[in-house]
Every structure is written in structure tokens, then in C-alpha cells.
């Protein structure tokens, strides 16, 4: 199993944090896309991303062990966004870094892959492979055409279920504890059939639910056999991947979130008052459920529609 671990990065205390997590053999991924996001303001969003680009640049310039002794990756912003050119400027400033993988979000046609690869090579960015996110309805339905013919650099097809929920106008979001989620996964695997690529599953937003997480890994192993990966959001989830022993998926009953849109949208904003990471745009409730910027945005829309 491949593990892509989206790690935290910050100015103070990173050394001790990384010392703890560095025992893992996962690919440590720095995200400058969706987890660094201000959904309320385009100017604020750009300023926030610039702040974290600066933090990442300072970390990798002063703490070379991160990329010298470990595999690291980065998730860029979509190639068609205004932020992408700023991402490339960051990679240019970090030319001494050899990235294990570069992740490209919201891919909807083959041209986007070719464009990103052309820019990476033109700017002499060093990397081993790339991964693409299938996270929109168009991206999933076009996946077979996107991955054919073979692109040697392409290694991963990654499901991004938060974006897929919002693109499908689903709220509350469907997660790993729902049969519909696994139908979405099965559809992606169908489009990948015959390729030599690795499917990487979307992260589980129930951060502390070991039973659900192991159920997720059981499902992946059953559907993909040996060739699959899992994105993780904290060290606990990453350890569960390292310790995983394949089992036959069990029929398990999980406690589900409130399904009424208005009730759940209000719950999100009530929870955000005391749990939101205002610097990054997401929140974690008292049960360990991560409320992504995508779901916060959808909650805003639901409540605005209800008030109108």
C-alpha cells in the first residue's frame, strides 16, 4: 500500500513535529491547494497561500533533511488557476529539492497533464512522478481518455471526494461509511482498468475513527488487491496504514452524521465558532470530524438559500 501523508507545516516547532512523524515510510505531502484556502475572499485566499508558500520555502531551505532522507511531494493548484504560476515560482526557488511526486488537482482533460509536465521540465523542476486528482464529474467520466495513451511520469490516480461531492451538489457530504462512496470508487477503478496506475483513496475525514479507517482499507484491498494507496491526514491514520493486515471487508454499522441539510449546515457553523482553524479555513469538531473548506462552502450556500 502506498501512503500519501498530508503533513502540517508551520514556522515554529516544525523540527520536533517532523522528528515524530519521520519514522513513517509514507510520502510526506505539502499541500498548497485546498487545505490552504480562504473561501470568503479571493484576495484573502491569495495572501494565505503566499504566506504558506513562504513558510514551505523557509522550511525546505533550512531543514534539508526533509527532502534528503525522506520522500516528499507537493499538491499544486489547478493548472488553469491564477495560483498555479505562483506555485511554479515556488518550485523554481526550491530547485535543489527533488520531489518524489507532484500532485495535480481537478484534472479534466489530457491537455492539463501535458501542460503541467511541459512547465515542470521547462523550469527544470526535479521530480520522480506525478499524480492526478479525479475529483469532478467531468474528470471522472473522462478518466479513460485522460490516462490513455500512457504517460511515463504518471503514477497515481487520486480520488478527491470532497470536491466530487461539491461538484455533484451533494450536502451533507457522502463519506467512506456510505455505499454510494464505494460506487464512486468502483466507477473510477472501472475507467482505470487495463492501466498500470495506482489508485489512491481520498482521505477519511473522521480523523480518530480507527474502525471506519480499517474498514476503508479492507474495502480498498478487496477492490484493488495489492495495487492501491491511501491519503492520510494525521500520524494516527498513517500508523494505521503501516500496521494494516488485510482482512475480508466486514458489514459494519457506523454512526452517521445528521443528513438534514439545514440542520447539518447549522451544526457546521456552530462547531466552527470554537474549532475553526481560521488560518487555513477548515474546522474539526469535538468528535474528530474534519469540516473541509468544501463542506463549509456548501453549508454557506444551503443556509443562504434557506434564508432567501
Averaged pLDDT, groups of 10, the chain, 308 residues long? 96 92 96 90 93 97 95 98 97 97 98 98 98 98 96 98 97 94 97 97 96 95 94 97 87 64 91 66 87 91 85
CA 290 from chain center: how many Å?
13
What's the pLDDT at 259? 76
Lookup: cell for 295: 463542506
Report the distance separating Cα 186 and Cα 254, nearest Å. Answer: 21
pLDDT at position 236 is 97
Q: Which residue has the cell 485522460?
A: 146
> Does residue 237 contact residue 205 with C-beta atoms inside 8 Å?
no
Give the residue from 72, 82, 63, 62 showing the smallest Cα distance to 31: 72
Report the pLDDT value the prediction gives residue 258, as an integer from 0 to 100.
65
pLDDT for 269: 86
pLDDT for position 276:
53
Phi, psi of 217 (to 5 degrees): -65, -35
Are 131 and 104 spatial neighbours (Cβ–Cβ below 8 Å)? yes
Count of CB atoms within 10 A of residue 173's CB?
Answer: 21
- The topology under which CATH files domain 2-253 is TIM Barrel (3.20.20)
Between CA 126 and CA 64 the distance in angstroms is 15
**pTM for the model:** 0.95
Preceding omega of 16 cis (within 30 degrees of 0): no
Grid cell of 10 as nine digits: 508551520
CB burial of 35-68 (b: ≥16 within 10 Å; e: otherwise) equals: bbbbeeeeeebeebbeebbebbbebbeeeeebbe
pLDDT for the residue numbered 78: 97
CA distance 78 to 83: 8
Amino acid at each position: 500500500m502506498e501512503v500519501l501523508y498530508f503533513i502540517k507545516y508551520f514556522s515554529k516547532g516544525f523540527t520536533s513535529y517532523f522528528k515524530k512523524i519521520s519514522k513513517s515510510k509514507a510520502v510526506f505531502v505539502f499541500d498548497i491547494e485546498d487545505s490552504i484556502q480562504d473561501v470568503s475572499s479571493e484576495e484573502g485566499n491569495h495572501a494565505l497561500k503566499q504566506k504558506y508558500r513562504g513558510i514551505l520555502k523557509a522550511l525546505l531551505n533550512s531543514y534539508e533533511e526533509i527532502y534528503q532522507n525522506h520522500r516528499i511531494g507537493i499538491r499544486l493548484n489547478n493548472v488553469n488557476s491564477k495560483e498555479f504560476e505562483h506555485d511554479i515560482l515556488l518550485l523554481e526557488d526550491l530547485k535543489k529539492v527533488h520531489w518524489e511526486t507532484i500532485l495535480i488537482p481537478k484534472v479534466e482533460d489530457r491537455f492539463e497533464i501535458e501542460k503541467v509536465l511541459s512547465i515542470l521540465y521547462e523550469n527544470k523542476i526535479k521530480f520522480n512522478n506525478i499524480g492526478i486528482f479525479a475529483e469532478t464529474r467531468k474528470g471522472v467520466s473522462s478518466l479513460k481518455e485522460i490516462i490513455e495513451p500512457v504517460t511515463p511520469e504518471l503514477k497515481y490516480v487520486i480520488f478527491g471526494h470532497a470536491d466530487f461531492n461539491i461538484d455533484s451538489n451533494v450536502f451533507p457530504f457522502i463519506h467512506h461509511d456510505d455505499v454510494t462512496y464505494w460506487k464512486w470508487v468502483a466507477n473510477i477503478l472501472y475507467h482505470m482498468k487495463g492501466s498500470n496506475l495506482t489508485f489512491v483513496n481520498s482521505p477519511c475525514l473522521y480523523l480518530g475513527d480507527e474502525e471506519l479507517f480499517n474498514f476503508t482499507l479492507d474495502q480498498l484491498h478487496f477492490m484493488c488487491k495489492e495495487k492501491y494507496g491511501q491519503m492520510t491526514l494525521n500520524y494516527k491514520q498513517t500508523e494505521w496504514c503501516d500496521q494494516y493486515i488485510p482482512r475480508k471487508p466486514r458489514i459494519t454499522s457506523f454512526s452517521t452524521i445528521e443528513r438534514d441539510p439545514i440542520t447539518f449546515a447549522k451544526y457546521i457553523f456552530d462547531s466552527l465558532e470554537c474549532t475553526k482553524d481560521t488560518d487555513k479555513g477548515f474546522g474539526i469538531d469535538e468528535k474528530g470530524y474534519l469540516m473541509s473548506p468544501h463542506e463549509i462552502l456548501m453549508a454557506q450556500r444551503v443556509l443562504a438559500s434557506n434564508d432567501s
